[in-house]
Amino acid sequence: MTMRPDPTFHASPRLAMEAPPENFAYTLLLSPDFAKPDALAVIDVKPSSKTYGQVVHTVAMPNKGDEFHHFGWNACSSALSPLAGHAFVERRYLIIPGMRSSRIYIIDTKPSPLEAKIHKIIEPEEVFKKTGYSRPHTIHCGPEGIYVSTLGGGKDGTEGPPGVFIMDCETFDVLGRWEIDRGPQKLHYDFWWNLPRDYMVSSEWALPPQFENGIVAEDLLANKYGHRLHFWDLRARRNVQTIDLGANHQMALEVRPAHDPIREYGFVGVVVDTTNLEASIWTWWREGGKFHAEKTATIPPEPAPKEKLPPLLQGFGAVPPLVTDIDLSMDDRFLYVSCWGTGEMRQYDVRDPRKPRLSGSVHIGGIARRTPHPNGKAFAGGPQMVEISRDGKRVYWTNSLYSTWDDQFYPDGMPGAEVMADVGTDGGLELAKDYFVSFPEGYRPHQVRLEGGDCSTDSFCYPSVWN
């Protein structure tokens, strides 16, 4: 614990953008066949370094079968909230949940990312006993603790609805369920918030039987995956409104509120419309005391010959975009959209949040396209988990979604890779030819976290002052 606020905490998004650039990227590695333990890779992202774009440290876990997916910090800029009870915590520990095992690892990144090591392991029995939830998914650091969303209720994942639980950000004890009144919420996926406005928004994916062994085509075509947004009173911990996007809009995944807390809007990506295979971006906003949501951008499927399609898609004769991640730049200007199926990273100018304008695009990988990297290397899979530097000049992404889904959509295999694109001053994307991270055979990369914080980690409590 320091005796002053962590210098990587920033009162506003603008101040975060002015901070020094990242030196390291942390990337989760999963073993898709559970042959070896999952791991955390530390990557050198300093352009002047002799080891630029290389894995310079690895933390291997002691257990197999965890299925690493999303992770986050123990503390972030939300600690500067005037309501914070932990003013002097550090952005020091990475909280890594095993989505399949329900085990949680606490990784200490001090004194250096090159010496990152396991600090504590929380066994699944503690999670089950204290929360009644399983399959931990998303980590967000709030002013008073660590929030963890889950995908399963009970040990087997179907004993009641999943939800959110709280961990102590210093002892890492599991405290208990967050919800007091969940209302109609029965599925879960992502969540985030506007702290000064005192609301949270959450989304829906599926229950464990619908994703752990691969996508269940019958359930998808019957519109049984998640398609609703839930809005919560953050302090009262109760559901205040639910918006159904329509049953055909299957799998409403990542939610990205505006970073500047004065702005009461945000975005969510929908994986697929079962009526036409298109993907979509939706904008939500609050007006007149109520939340509203509308579809503001669509991405069509791409026709493809049967021989280029996996068995799952051959009957459709097309590749759906499969929007599996979105991320919003710190200045709330650009929304990045991962089209994992068609192999495209899209950049939208969202300064008018209800009228996104396509401002940049690059292709790499893809089910049918299979576009190589500009350096000539093959790239299996497609753009998946995306992370943006605080200054908005670099966009990193990996290629793996989830072990069993990878195998269904990319049955020819998926060697792990991480790439980066440079962002133009006025928008536009260009893949960096000198940044292509390969990982040890048998590992696939998922989410990326940047040293000092990034655009899907930090929550801010004070408005930016733009001159």
Which residues have CB under 8 Å from 32's CB, separation 6+? Answer: 400, 403, 406, 407, 442, 444
The predicted pLDDT at position 310 comes to 97
Phi, psi at 387, each rounded to 5°? -135, 140
Other CB atoms within 10 Å distance of the CB of residue 226: 24
Residue 168 makes CB contacts below 8 A (sequence gap 6+) with 145, 146, 175
What span, in angstroms and rounded, lies between the C-alpha atoms of 460 and 387? 18
> What gap in Å lies between CA 377 and CA 383, rounded to an integer?
15
C-alpha 122/C-alpha 117 separation (Å) is 15
Digits of tens for pLDDT over the chain (467 positions)?
556 789 999 999 999 999 999 999 999 999 999 999 999 999 999 999 999 999 999 999 999 999 999 999 999 999 998 877 666 799 999 999 999 999 999 999 999 999 999 999 999 999 999 999 999 999 999 988 999 999 999 999 999 999 999 999 989 999 999 999 999 999 999 999 999 999 999 999 999 999 999 999 999 999 999 999 999 999 999 999 999 999 999 999 999 999 999 999 999 999 999 999 999 999 999 999 999 999 999 999 999 999 999 999 999 999 999 999 999 999 999 999 999 999 999 999 999 999 999 999 999 999 999 999 999 999 999 999 999 999 999 999 999 999 999 999 999 999 999 999 999 999 999 999 999 999 999 999 999 999 999 999 999 999 999 75
What local confidence, expressed as pLDDT, does residue 228 receive?
98
pLDDT at 467: 57
The residues near 395 (Cβ < 8 Å, ≥ 6 apart) are 327, 336, 345, 347, 386, 387, 388, 389, 420, 421, 423, 429
The per-residue pLDDT for 85 is 64
Q: Could you give all domains of the chain from N- to C-terminal order, each with its CATH number?
A: 13-450 (2.130.10.10)
**How far from each other are the two terminal CA atoms of the chain, in whole angstroms?**
35
Residue 2 pLDDT = 54
Q: What is residue 5's predicted lDDT score, i.e. its pLDDT?
A: 82
The DSSP symbol for 411 reads T
C-alpha triplet 389, 14, 11: angle, nearest 5°: 105
Coil, strand or helix at 458: coil
Residue 136 · residue 153 · CB < 8 Å:
no
pLDDT for position 427? 95
What pLDDT was estimated at residue 300? 98
DSSP state of 21: P
